[in-house]
């Protein structure tokens, strides 16, 4: 899953695209490199991010969805939003998946909306808002608390008729650096939910703060963690750098080859 941030303040500057011609160039690059999905977001969710209104978010992402569908009709577009209204408009315009970093917490209409739209839904674990989440990292039992939260929400979604649910443990969202690594190490524990797992660690602070580098220098380390995630059961990698992620996928797939 290639990331397209249509925001002026995404934490990784090289992932920001505010010009439609640049968007199309990047889309072609990602699809050529092997991306299965393109994840389009118009509201930065980095810790402390400035909130933007629904109309502003929609004005950022809707033209991008439309122009990608026009020029790359084969593209599978995910809309990265926690707002049901934005999800609805973008799916109507051609998006085929909703990626909700709030797991339904910030819009009580989200679960019902995605169930009615009948599109795959990425359910991410988080707490609070982008402004407050880093003050909400106290857990009784990190792995069990995250698992329990996701299981309760999957149950709610199933009751509404939602069929395709992908889970995301929410690396960097209401988690300390150490907690991120604990969850990554326990990724296999979440297979009990019988849902595909998306892992999004690309160039995040859990990498560059640990190594005392910048997001710009975090590609190699991102590939290391993506590889670990794949060996622990990740099904989708959400990344800024598609080519390198595809290489990791291909090499990890080689480990499943048995000797004749």
Q: What is the mean pLDDT of residues 228-245?
A: 98
Report yes or no on 259 lying in a domain.
no
Average pLDDT for 222-234: 98
**DSSP3 helix / strand / coil % (the chain, rounded to 5):** 50, 10, 40
- Is residue 118 in a domain? yes
Q: Tell me which of 232 and 47 has the higher pLDDT.
A: 232
The tens digit of pLDDT for each residue in 144-200 reads 999 999 999 999 999 999 999 999 999 999 999 999 999 999 999 999 999 999 999
233 torsion bin: left (phi>0), alpha (psi -120 to 50), beta (else): left
- Tell me which residue range forms the domain holding 113: 2-252
Average of pLDDT values for 46-58? 81
Q: Is residue 205 part of a domain?
A: yes
Q: What pLDDT does residue 12 have?
A: 43
Q: How many residues does the chain have?
A: 260
User: Which of 75, 70, 98, 81 has its CA nearest to residue 29?
Assistant: 75
- Could you tell me if residue 258 is inside a domain? no
CA dihedral 8, 120, 30, 234 (to 10 degrees): 100
Q: Is position 230 within any domain?
A: yes
pLDDT of residue 18: 62
Contacts of 117 (CB under 8 A, 6+ apart): 87, 88, 91, 98
- Is the model's pLDDT at 129 over the cut of 90? no
Compute the Cα dihedral for 94, 108, 154, 134 and give only its sign.
positive
**Cβ-proximal residues to 189 (8 Å cutoff; 6+ apart), any chain:** 143, 147
Is 64's pLDDT higher than 60?
A: yes
Does residue 45 surpass a pLDDT of 90?
no
Q: What is the pLDDT of residues 6-44, one digit of tens each?
A: 876 554 445 455 678 889 999 999 999 999 999 999 987
Residue 260 falls inside a structural domain = no
Q: pLDDT-based confidence at 4, cuts 50/70/90?
A: very high
Assign residue 130 the CATH number of its domain.
3.20.20.20
**What mean pLDDT, rounded, does the chain reach?**
93
Name the token pair of 16.
């920001």
Number of domains composing the chain: 1
Q: Which of 6, 140, 128 is nearest to 66 (CA)?
A: 6
Determine which helix (DSSP H) or strand (DSSP E) holds 64, and give its type and residue range: helix 54-71
Give the confidence band of 260 by pLDDT, cuts at 50, 70, 90: low
pLDDT in tens, 249-259: 999 999 988 76
Which residues carry out catalysis? 204, 238
């Amino acid at each position: 899953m290639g990331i397209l941030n249509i925001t002026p303040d995404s934490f990784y500057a090289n992932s920001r695209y505010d010009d439609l011609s640049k968007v199309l160039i990047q889309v072609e690059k990602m699809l050529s490199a092997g991306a299965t999905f393109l994840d389009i977001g118009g509201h930065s969710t980095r810790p402390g991010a400035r909130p933007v209104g629904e109309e502003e978010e929609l004005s950022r992402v809707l033209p991008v969805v439309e122009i990608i569908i026009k020029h790359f009709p084969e593209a599978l577009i995910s809309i990265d939003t926690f707002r049901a209204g934005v999800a609805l408009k973008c799916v109507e315009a051609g998006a085929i998946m909703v990626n909700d970093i709030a797991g339904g917490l910030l819009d009580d209409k989200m679960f019902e909306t995605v169930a009615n739209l009948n599109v795959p839904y990425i359910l991410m674990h988080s707490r609070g808002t982008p402004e407050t989440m880093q003050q909400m990292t106290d857990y009784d039992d990190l792995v069990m608390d995250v698992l329990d939260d996701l299981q309760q929400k999957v149950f709610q979604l199933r009751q509404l008729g939602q069929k395709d649910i992908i889970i995301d443990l929410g690396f960097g969202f209401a988690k300390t650096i150490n907690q991120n690594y604990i969850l990554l190490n326990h990724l296999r524990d979440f297979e009990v939910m019988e849902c595909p797992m998306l892992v999004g660690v690309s160039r995040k602070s859990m990498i560059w703060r640990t190594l005392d580098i910048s997001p710009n220098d975090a590609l190699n380390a991102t590939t290391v963690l993506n590889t670990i995630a794949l060996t622990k059961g990740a099904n989708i990698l959400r990344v800024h750098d598609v080519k390198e992620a595809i290489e990791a996928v291909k090499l990890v797939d080689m480990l499943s080859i048995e000797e004749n």
